[in-house]
Amino acid sequence: MREHEGDRVGDRPGAELRGDCGSCFGLCCVALPFARSADFAVDKDAGTPCANLRTDHRCGIHTTLRERGFTGCTVYDCFGAGQRVSQVTFGGRDWRTGPPERTRRMFDVFPVVRQLHELLWYLTEALTLPAARPVHADLRGALTDTERLAEGTPEELAALDVAAHRHRVNALLLRTSELARAGSRGRKKNRRNADLMGARLKGADLAGADLRGAYLIAADLTGADLRGADLIGADLRDAELSDADLTGALFLTQPQVDAARGGPGTRLPDSVARPVHWTAGR
């Protein structure tokens, strides 16, 4: 469902951790539920194919999703879980043609692998940070463990306590963040899990700040300095990032950027692509 400027799956680092819809059986359009809201025009139960999903597993309204009220689809990324579950975990067997038991298991496994792939994204980024060298060995171990879990059989994945694994990895990512932000003047700005919905933060100095899990929905961050800030899990839906500087922002993902608003003056890390809707109208 991605809509990024000049974005091809193989263009950027970590291509295997980016959704490749052409290699997936439309799992996000079937396995996941959504509710009528500002993000979705209709209600849909988990396990029920979206009415816009074609028989070739492509979206019938892909080019007009925003106009038709499906903004939520345009900001979703499975981190490559869709193609792994479709082509590896289930060996290329389509959910449309298999027995009901296999179909249900595929839908159950998909969100588990999606969480594991998100962790792989964070761990991969953490290993690129020179300041995190003291924990690089632990990060590599966690990366190996997470990849091994993602390679599990459908039965193993269905039985996995993914929340417990996330908890263990998160402790390591938190230590990584602390090391990476240690030299920043904003490292003491703790806004972790803060309610900043609609906050007026225009031009704010948030360099190196801890914004893990912060609610920044519709916040005005125009021209804000977010260099080196930890944004893991921050909710950036409709946040205004025009002219903001997110250079070196930690653990910023494509779905977060896609959910925000920005412009040509927004500075982004190389790990994420500039969304088309930032320049093609809102």
For 23-92, the DSSP string reads GS--GGGTTS-B-SSSS-SS-B-TTS--TTB-TTS-BTTGGGTTTTT-HHHHT---TTHHHHIIIIITTT
Q: Which residues contact 116 (CB under 8 A, 6 or more apart)?
A: 81, 146, 149, 150, 162, 165
Render each residue's pLDDT in the chain as its tens digit; 282 residues. Answer: 444 444 433 334 467 898 899 999 999 999 999 999 988 999 999 999 999 999 999 999 998 998 999 999 988 999 999 999 999 999 999 999 889 999 999 999 999 999 999 999 999 999 999 999 999 999 999 999 999 999 999 999 999 999 999 999 999 999 999 999 997 765 568 899 999 999 999 999 999 999 999 999 999 999 999 999 999 999 999 999 999 999 999 999 999 999 999 999 999 998 899 998 887 544
**How far apart, in whole angstroms, are the C-alpha atoms of residue 239 and residue 172?**
28
**How far apart, in whole angstroms, are the C-alpha atoms of residue 1 and residue 17?**
14
Token pair of 152, please?
């599990």
**How far apart, in whole angstroms, are the C-alpha atoms of residue 30 and residue 57?**
10
| Residue 240: predicted pLDDT | 97
**How far apart, in whole angstroms, are the C-alpha atoms of residue 151 and residue 149?**
5
| Residue 43: predicted pLDDT | 94
Q: Is 242 left (phi over 0), alpha (psi -120 to 50) or beta?
A: beta
| Residue 14: predicted pLDDT | 67
